[in-house]
Amino acid sequence: MSRNRLMGADAEIGVRLARWRRRRGLSQSRLAALAGLSQPYLSELESGIKPLDRPSTQLKLAEALQISLAQLLDQPGYPDHTRNKVLAQVPGVRVALLELALGERSTPSRSMEALRLDVGDLVDIRNSGNWYGTMHRMAPLLRELAAHGRASAELMTRALSVVRFALAHLGFDDLAGEAADLGVRTAAGIADGAYLSLARYSWVKSFPVEAAEIGLRAALGALASAKTDSRQATEMTGWLHLLAAQQACYLGRGNDASMHLDEARLLAKLLGEPVRVSSHAAGFSGNWFNTTTVDVWQMSAAAQLRDIRWAMRIRDTIDLTALPFPLGQAWYRFALARALLAAGQDEEAVASLVTAERVAPQHFRMSRYTQELLSELMVRAQRKTNRDPILALAQRVGLSLQ
């Protein structure tokens, strides 16, 4: 005998739950495991046999799907609990950075080998686009690394680069700058020059666009002392060339940008594909330096310089299988959206952002760059008749079209 199915709003939630699961490419058993539920119970929720009316279950499923409760329940005004949880970590990270700046340290409670694994996990989780998973690890990890003093300098430099990256994407520019500055001080004196290059790269990335003249000088200064005597040092030299190209683009210096992009490509070809070190990380500090990375930066540079034909030619040659991690896929989609916007292809830009949301949903919702791109799209959408796709995307990140 078949069981009675729910009607109305309760049944619609089950349909929405199944739709989001399929959008994420998850089986029922996988989603159930991620949410700490049984597969039969999840099946009953999706099929409308049981109501999804427990707030704790709603939250578990939303977090497992990396969506907000507003998206799951179709209630636009509902608070985004995951965003709130991420932002709640920021004060603790701020205090930890202040303690580092003051040289305060406690007695270590974990071994260096355990901390090495923790830093690797931090990079891997960052590359998965999971900001809560990244942020809530930061403060205790920084304190534990500080407890080991100079012995942890290499791991601390890597950790601070992730801290800077996360804070910048979440919109905490000043705090990101403090993390980057601490990274440069920490890396000074490390024998392997790759770490100082990593710290200097992170430091310049914390500069605002209006400081591009200083940023270019700083990038060139870092390149002047960069080494290519090891694979990881060569990778970081490549990243510094990409950084110099970006700063040159901000200044409208296309020839300088092209020169640095060419240098980065030569190094990427010389090195070949980076060795994967975890599910979402490869190469030095998990940063995936390869020719595809250079392609994406080149496409972004072309868009910045308003050379749309160049940008579209590069787009057609990019092999995304060489960036097989969520943040890399989303990064490409953001760069493509910028290029498409510059070309006036708004609908294609929206489609690119829709894909970015699918591959890295939490990153998409919380990154400041999503807000910037959607704000530009919404201004342009005032003149368009079909604004529904833009409105739907804006709703997901809490923006409203005035």
Count of CB atoms situated within 10 Å of the CB of 320: 14
Q: At 308, is the secondary structure helix, strand, or coil?
A: helix
Question: Are 286 and 264 within 8 A, CB to CB?
Answer: no
**Domains and their CATH numbers in the chain:** 8-79 (1.10.260.40), 80-190 (no CATH)
Q: CA-CA distance, 209 to 230, in Å (whole number)?
A: 31
Angle at 184 between CA 180 and CA 190, to 5 degrees: 140
Lowest mean pLDDT among 60-64, 143-147, 192-196, 294-298: 60-64
Question: Are 35 and 64 within 8 A, CB to CB?
Answer: yes
Instruction: Kindly indicate the confidence band of residue 15, based on its pLDDT and cuts at 50, 70 and 90.
Output: confident
Give residue for tokens 């990593």: 198
Residue 39 has a pLDDT of 92
Q: Which residue has the higher pLDDT, 202 or 80?
A: 202
Q: CA-CA distance, 340 to 134, in Å (whole number)?
A: 30
Residue 7 has a pLDDT of 53
- The token pair at 206 is 């914390």
pLDDT per residue as tens digits for the range 238-276: 999 999 999 999 999 999 999 999 999 999 999 999 999
Q: How far is CA 143 from the centre of its chain?
A: 23
Q: How far is CA 181 from the centre of its chain?
A: 21
Residue 10 has pLDDT above 80, yes or no: no
Residue 344 exposed, middle or buried by CB count within 10 Å (0-12, 13-18, 19+): exposed
Side-chain-side CA neighbours of 268 within 13 Å: the count stands at: 23
106: alpha, beta or left, given left = phi > 0 and alpha = psi -120 to 50?
beta
- The token pair at 23 is 């959008």
Residue 1 has a pLDDT of 35
Residue 160 has a pLDDT of 98
Helical spans, DSSP H, in 171-290? 173-187, 193-205, 212-225, 231-250, 254-271
Give residue for tokens 């540079």: 301
Quote the pTM value.
Answer: 0.87
Mean pLDDT in residue range 229-246: 97
Q: What percent of the chain is modeled with pLDDT above 70?
A: 94
Q: Which residues pair with 282 in a beta bridge?
A: 276
Q: Which residues have C-beta within 8 Å of that of residue 230, sequence separation ≥ 6?
A: 192, 194
pLDDT per residue as tens digits for the range 51-73: 888 888 988 898 888 887 877 88
Residue 401 has a pLDDT of 52
Mean pLDDT in residue range 339-367: 89
- The token pair at 274 is 């980076």
Question: Are 39 and 29 within 8 A, CB to CB?
Answer: yes
Count of CB atoms situated within 10 Å of the CB of 330: 26
pLDDT per residue as tens digits for the range 19-58: 888 877 789 998 999 899 999 999 999 988 888 888 889 8
Residue 4 has a pLDDT of 55
Q: What percent of the chain is modeled with pLDDT above 90?
A: 68
Mean pLDDT in residue range 6-12: 63
Residue 354 has pLDDT above 70, yes or no: yes
- The token pair at 200 is 């200097």
Q: Which residue has the higher pLDDT, 391 or 264?
A: 264
Residue 385 has pLDDT above 60, yes or no: no
- The token pair at 133 is 């998973």
Extended beta strands in 97-188, E state: none
Count of CB atoms situated within 10 Å of the CB of 121: 16
**Helix, strand counts (H, E) of the chain:** 22, 0
DSSP category for residue 67 = -
Lowest mean pLDDT among 104-113, 264-273, 289-298, 365-374: 365-374
